[in-house]
């Protein structure tokens, strides 16, 4: 089976080649992203393998279908960049629902600690033998309230980590898992109470119509002054302009962003020699209390290996006509796992 692999990075090849050989799957690694301009590169391949910033919209799916491509293998959990409805009945779509929730949750905590203890500033100062502490006063996490939006795999690991720090958790999820609610240190609530009562807010839900810009002018207005916002989920969850205004007005005390709504042409690439065209991102990055990482929360050895292994298994399921819990289906406009029929959005 021949697969066109889009948006290849150096760390992808070794992980995928380790698992594909035994299954006789041949990957052709393209550095370019999959989109309407590049889709013809998939001619002659049985499938495509894509990541978070490949744009697999209806036009791309129509063309893939014309080219006889039968499978789209997402090497990530989120699938907001693929028009599942358009693919339905024509091209099979698989994802990797979980590869290391620890990687993302641990990165989220790393960002939080870096931000509130000013590690990013201290690192630069001490490199210059400047050992002054002025401006570095942080705050204890112990006893603080963290609002966690989305209590799936990653949200739950993040909650465990926060509990280790002695924090209280207010959780919100469209489909709550009441088994983690102890009515005290971990408690489900509605969005409004979460916004009003949290010292820190962390986003771990998927990007859907329901969650797009869940952090906006109105929700930020409800927040405590000095709230710390963490987003390691999807950029579209945050209205970046509203966030920028709230940082300027000192409503938001700090923001840690591993994702950004318009990250598509910027993140994962070296833009150091270019003029940054995105004024909102440039202004956010210029703020002393904003930390931006380039969608790197997933990037651990363990996660890369799990992603490659599951993607190859997904392709084998497709080739052998076996059912897979990782296949995505769309009926009546609702996307769900093909086996369990459980709505995912």
Annotated catalytic residues are 234, 263, 295
In this chain, which stretch among 53-61, 194-202, 207-215, 323-331 interacts with ligand NAI, using CB under 6 A?
Answer: 207-215
* CB of 76 closer than 8 Å to CB of 324: no
- Number of shown-chain residues binding ligand NAI (CB under 6 A): 30
Which of 78, 226, 264, 337 binds ligand NAI (CB under 6 A)? It is 78
Which residues in 137-166 contact ligand NAI (CB under 6 A)?
Answer: 149-155
* Longest Cα–Cα distance in the chain: 64
Q: Counting contacts by CB under 6 A, is residue 205 touching ligand NAI? A: yes
Q: How far is CA 170 from CA 28, 151, 188, 201, 294, in A?
A: 46, 10, 6, 9, 27
What's the order of all strands across the beta sheet hosting 327-331?
A: 26-29, 2-5, 47-50, 71-74, 92-94, 327-331, 334-337
CA dihedral for 55, 58, 64, 67, sign (positive or negative): negative
Closest-by-Cβ residue to ligand NAI is 152
Element (H or E) spanning 217, and its range? helix 217-222
Q: What CA–CA distance (Å, rounded) separates 313 from 88?
A: 21
In this chain, which stretch among 98-106, 113-121, 279-287, 334-342 interacts with ligand NAI, using CB under 6 A?
Answer: 98-106
Which of 23, 62, 173, 262 binds ligand NAI (CB under 6 A)? It is 173
Which residues in 237-256 contact ligand NAI (CB under 6 A)?
Answer: none
Q: CA angle at residue 128 from 122 to 131, to 5 degrees? A: 50
In this chain, which stretch among 9-17, 22-30, 84-92, 229-237 interacts with ligand NAI, using CB under 6 A?
Answer: 229-237
Name which of 33 and 234 has its Cβ closer to ligand NAI. Answer: 234
CB of 79 to ligand NAI, least distance (A): 9
């Amino acid at each position: 089976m021949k697969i066109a692999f889009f948006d290849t990075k150096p760390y992808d090849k070794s992980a995928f080649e380790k698992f594909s050989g035994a299954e006789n799957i041949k990957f052709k690694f393209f550095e370019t992203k999959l989109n309407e301009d590049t889709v013809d590169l998939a001619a002659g391949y049985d499938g495509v393998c894509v990541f978070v910033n490949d744009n697999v919209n209806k036009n791309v799916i129509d063309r893939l279908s014309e080219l006889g491509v039968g499978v789209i293998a997402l090497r990530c959990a989120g699938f907001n960049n693929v028009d599942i409805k358009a693919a339905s009945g024509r091209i099979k779509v698989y994802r990797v629902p979980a590869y290391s929730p620890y990687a993302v949750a641990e990165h989220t905590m790393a960002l939080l600690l870096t931000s509130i203890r000013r590690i990013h500033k201290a690192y630069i100062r001490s490199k210059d033998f400047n050992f002054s502490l002025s401006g570095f006063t942080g705050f204890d996490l112990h006893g603080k309230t963290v609002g966690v939006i989305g209590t799936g795999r990653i949200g739950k690991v993040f909650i465990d980590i926060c509990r280790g720090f002695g924090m209280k958790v207010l959780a919100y999820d469209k489909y709550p898992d009441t088994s983690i609610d102890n009515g005290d240190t971990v408690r489900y609530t509605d969005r409004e109470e979460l916004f009003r009562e949290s010292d820190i807010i962390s986003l771990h839900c998927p990007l859907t119509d329901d969650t797009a810009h869940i952090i906006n002018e109105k929700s930020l207005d409800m927040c405590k002054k000095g709230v710390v916002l963490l987003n390691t989920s999807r950029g579209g969850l945050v209205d970046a302009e509203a966030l920028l205004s709230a940082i300027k007005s000192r409503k938001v005390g700090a923001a840690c962003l591993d994702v950004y709504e318009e990250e598509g042409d910027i993140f994962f690439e070296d833009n150091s020699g270019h003029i940054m065209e995105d004024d909102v991102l440039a202004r956010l990055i210029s703020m002393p209390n904003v930390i931006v990482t380039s969608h790197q929360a997933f990037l651990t050895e363990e996660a890369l290996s799990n992603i490659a292994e599951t993607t190859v298994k997904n392709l084998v399921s497709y080739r052998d006509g076996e059912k897979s819990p990782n296949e995505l289906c769309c009926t009546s406009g609702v996307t769900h796992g093909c086996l369990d029929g459980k709505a995912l959005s």
